[in-house]
Structure 1
Amino acid sequence: MTVTQAYKQHGAHGGEVFRIARETGSAPDNITDFSSNANSLCHDITEEILFSNMHGSYSDYNHYPDTWASELTAAIAEHESVSTQEIVVGHGSTETIFLTFQQLKPKKVLLVGPMFSEYARACSIFADNYDILTCSSNTGFIPTPAEFAKSDEYDLVVLCSPNNPATITYPNMQEIIQAIHSPCILIDSTYREFLYGEPEYNATHTAQYRKWCNHGTRIITMHSFTKFFYCTGVRLGYAISDTDTVTELKQGKMPWTVTASAQKAGINFLQHIEQYRERLPQMRIYRAMFTEKIRTTDVFNPSCIFSGVNFLFCQLKNPEHGATLYEFLLARSILVRLCDNIPGTEKGFIRMQVKSPEEWETLISALQDWKTYLNTSCC
């Protein structure tokens, strides 16, 4: 399959390196993947946790997994400072997203974009209809409280902060939550742990959201091990809400979706969380360096280069060339995330994971070649 054909089958997510490698006839290890937001700067920690004791990881192969992941739930409860009755563990956050829509059965949903594609897909399956509140790059992708004036018309409002793909952590979250009069707010907190050590970390805690919401509004927060602990293949996530809502979610949960090895991995990740947190200052230094390197390429609109958590979100100076750039880079075995198919996203935005300087130099060189190619082809 050619690069162009691979692009035309561009999936709903980043990190599809195995599919891209198969369809372009390349080996996965030969592709430099900037499209995934997983914390690759901590790959050695994750490898040590997952592979240092393989016998222990799979010692329960002859038993069904604990459907409710009781031991892992207790560890999460301690980490999040909530009760075990307020947590449901799932096969990645995607399972808990679909479980929430399945059980709550919202008729009308408001998604605040940009927004992870699976929320729109869940809406298309379980909701009667949904709207997308598209936040503009001109306002830094930050919604205003006034935009939620008609939120009482919706059964569910979905927000993502820190936002994927826009990187932004809403600085006005208190005002936003107080402006929402929907019976239920779902907040995707997948990238919260990347804020550790910064002022926003405590302000994005579930307990804080609960203090801000209106009486009668319930809060659900979504969390994932995938990104911070660099374990996309393990498939592990969880949701936090009040006891009644979690009980309702559990009533619709399929048994045994979280393997015994994934549950053990999750416990080990939390036990080693300080090791991951110790890497954050270096990651932030790399992020600043990477951002400046991206600016020097002169490929992106300088007023639309956003960086936060562990990735960048940048709009091309020529937004209509997104697909062509994607193919240009893929032909050089570099995979980025073209965000044109992410709900509520303006055209021509590219998402790129923060990696080591050695890895991004290849991307920077390719972008400089692209700039030359573009100037030549336009002359």
Structure 2
Amino acid sequence: MDLEKSSPPQRQEPERREPGGCLAVAIRIPVRIVVLVLVVPVRMLWDALVVVGRFLNDTVLRPLGRALLWIGRAVFVWPFVGLWRYVVVPLGTALGWLGQVLVVVPLVWLYRYALTPLGRALAWLYARVLTPVGHACLWVLRYLLVVPAVWVYAWILTPLGHAIAWCAKGLVWALTMIVTGVGTALYWIARILLVLPALALWRWVLAPVGREIGAALGHAWRIAGHISLAVGRFLATLFRWIFVEPVRWAYRTVLTPVGHVIRDTLLRPAAEAARAVGRAGRQALATARESVRQTRADIRRMLFGEPREREAVARREPVVPVRREPAVPACVEPVVPADREPRGPCRP
């Protein structure tokens, strides 16, 4: 069980002592007692839910998820893959070819032999006719409209605009100073009447109470964890002594000897008899096959006669070169001295 797994020892950092007064000391112990009483059932329920959730995840949810995943693939993914591979892709290829033949080629022909000459003609018209006309109109507009308008802007509108901007800047500065003074006054009033009392309440009342409640919750949660671990170990031990040990004892002392007796008295003789029957059946089957083979051979011999023997074919063997020995003379006549006669001719 996960409750029996003890967490590895962790290095505890020294707790920082927050500044607190008599109020923090007075509410610390009652708050911790109340929080412990409230947290222990929650922690035990949480640990039980964790164990049940892991058991359900390992035995039910994970196999169910794998089955649903396989069903989803078989129902949704594989049909769409087959539709894409064997229907959409060939259809898209065919449509692309048709578009190439029916749309792209005619458009290329139209661009090359119709639009290109027309565009060149329009470009020649623009360069030879429209450009000089445009230059003339531009010159007329420049000296009749632009130059007078620039003179009016530089010598009349610009000084007038500078004067208006200076007046507006002074008005904005005056309004800014008024708004800044009013805002500063409101800021100090709000700070003195609201912020400083709220800050004092938070620093000297709410923060100590909150720290003590948080520390109490932490201590209560850890103590509840130890209590839950002890209860889990007690329940595991009780389950082992009530159910597991009797079942193990019954398996070892009752079921195992009975199984051995059944194996030695029934199963092994039955297995030996079955193997003997199998061997006898295989031998009978082999004998029947041999009888059938001989019968077929006799019938073939009666109908067609003895089979002709195959003529022996001279096989070409690899020629091994024979090592020639040096010739030895059949007879070597001994050397006879000059004063003695040879005894006789040399016989082979």
Shorter-chain TM range is under 0.3
The structure with the greater share of residues assigned to helix is 2
Structure with more contact order per residue of length (Cα contacts < 8 Å, sep ≥ 6):
2
**Given the two structures, how large is their TM-score scaled by the length of structure 1?**
0.14
**TM-score, length-scaled by structure 2:** 0.15
Higher strand content, 1 or 2: 1
